Amino acid sequence: MSSQASDSCDVAVIGGGILGLAVARELGRRDPTASVCVLERESRIGTHQTGHNSGVIHAGVYYVPGSLKARLCVEGAREMYDYCEARGIPSERCGKVIVATEESELERLAELERRGHANGVPGLRRIDADGIAELEPHARGIAGLHSPGTGIADFPAVAQAYAEDVAAAGGTIATGCEVQGVSLNGRALRLSHSHGVTEARNAVFCAGAWADRLAVAAGADPDPRIVPFRGAYLRLRPDRRHLVRSLIYPVPDPSLPFLGVHLTKHIDGQVLVGPTALMAGARDAYKLGRVRRRDLTVTLAWPGTWRMLSRWWRTGVTELRHAALRSAFVHAAARYVPELEVGDVEASFAGVRAQALGRDGKLVDDFVFSHTDRALHVRNAPSPAATSSLAIARHVADEAQRSFA
């Protein structure tokens, strides 16, 4: 599937994650005569966020009604189940419960219920303590929400299938091809990269954690910057997996775009505990403590970082404890699954969220897309962008049809 980058094409898609591949697939479907090439810097597709996440097909409960996330997640989840079925990719509508353990969380739970209904989340319903125990016998709470339409899928396999669709439609995917420079060259964009140069009539940048860097190189405003947040997981030992039937989530803090430490059955049968949400010193901080000078300098030079830290330092300290102390991490999940003990878990993988942070210090909640000459940029596509990938691809292709010369 990998090939040398072509010298020229109609549309170049930068980034071979689930979004770049979905976008390339959609562009190729709409115009089979257009030459589409994907440029991916790693030696394989889907190695960053696409391959390091919870694997959950979100149903659309959390998102502000009317937002892009709300619409594209609900549409995208439906399409994701259909796509997985059509392509024989493992997925399961296992359902999820969101559990409130304290009176103080009930108002936020009610807000989630309101949002879920406004967003058209299928089958969402309020449950009481008995309802929680019926669905998840080892979970405890005073009230909850049940979302039967939430599920799980093998997102790396989905990305692989998108790549096959791209190739079947005549598109090319060049791996080991890092785009280093972007300039306008008359009626084309000149993309310089590790294989040489590609002249593209237009381009769509889907570079995940590096999205801001490429957008700025193409002439876009640096606001918002990407700040990497490391998300580490533990997993239940095989003999304790019975503590979780499907997916159990706490009631999240609505002012943060993270969902809190949750328990999720993975499509391969493991049960994950996590993830943490710790600001990281590198955009590929898969190892705790990995620092890249360039990444850290950009993060620290961004005024939004300091504004965010002054507001959220307490949350930062909690996340640091979760990252450093396994007992604190497990304690967070034991709030709603009280039988859970430190001895029940073992280390698992980590992912790095590409989270946009505004100059004003706000973590950008919604998906963000922007334009430069001859190019579209996906500037913020954190969770649930894997779920929403087919719907995001349609949205981006609509934009491309409107704006590309």
- Site of interaction with ligand FAD (CB under 6 A): 14-20, 39-42, 47-50, 52-56, 58, 178-179, 206-210, 214, 231, 275, 351-353, 381-387
Q: CB-wise, 141 or 231, nearer to ligand FAD? A: 231
Q: CB-wise, 101 or 383, nearer to ligand FAD? A: 383
C-beta separation of 142 from 129 below 8 A: yes
Instruction: Provide the minimum distance between the beta carbon of 38 and ligand FAD in the complex, in angstroms, as a whole number.
Output: 9
Q: CB-wise, 20 or 250, nearer to ligand FAD? A: 20
Q: CB-wise, 143 or 285, nearer to ligand FAD? A: 285
Instruction: Provide the minimum distance between the beta carbon of 269 and ligand FAD in the complex, in angstroms, as a whole number.
Output: 16
Q: Minimal CA–CA distance to 125: which of 101, 96, 153?
A: 96
Beta strands in 15-163 (DSSP E): 36-39, 56-57, 91-92, 96-100, 125-128, 143-147, 151-153
Q: CB-wise, 69 or 374, nearer to ligand FAD? A: 69
Instruction: Provide the minimum distance between the beta carbon of 328 and ligand FAD in the complex, in angstroms, as a whole number.
Output: 18
C-beta separation of 253 from 312 below 8 A: no
Q: CB-wise, 258 or 312, nearer to ligand FAD? A: 258
Instruction: Provide the minimum distance between the beta carbon of 387 and ligand FAD in the complex, in angstroms, as a whole number.
Output: 3
Q: CB-wise, 144 or 384, nearer to ligand FAD? A: 384
Q: In degrees to the nearest 10, what's the CA dihedral of 160, 162, 165, 169?
A: -120
Instruction: Provide the minimum distance between the beta carbon of 294 and ligand FAD in the complex, in angstroms, as a whole number.
Output: 13
Dist CA 82 CA 88 (whole Å):
10
Question: HSE on the CB side for 367, CA within 13 Å?
Answer: 28
Dist CA 275 CA 233 (whole Å):
5
Q: What does the DSSP assignment read for 221-285?
A: --PSEEEEEEEEEEEE-GGGGGG-SSEEEEPPPTTSS---SEEEE-TTS-EEEE---EE-BSTT-
Instruction: Provide the minimum distance between the beta carbon of 61 and ligand FAD in the complex, in angstroms, as a whole number.
Output: 13
Question: Measured at CB, which residue is nearest to ligand FAD?
Answer: 17
Question: HSE on the CB side for 78, CA within 13 Å?
Answer: 9
| Other Cβ atoms within 10 Å of 86 Cβ, number | 9
Instruction: Provide the minimum distance between the beta carbon of 351 and ligand FAD in the complex, in angstroms, as a whole number.
Output: 3
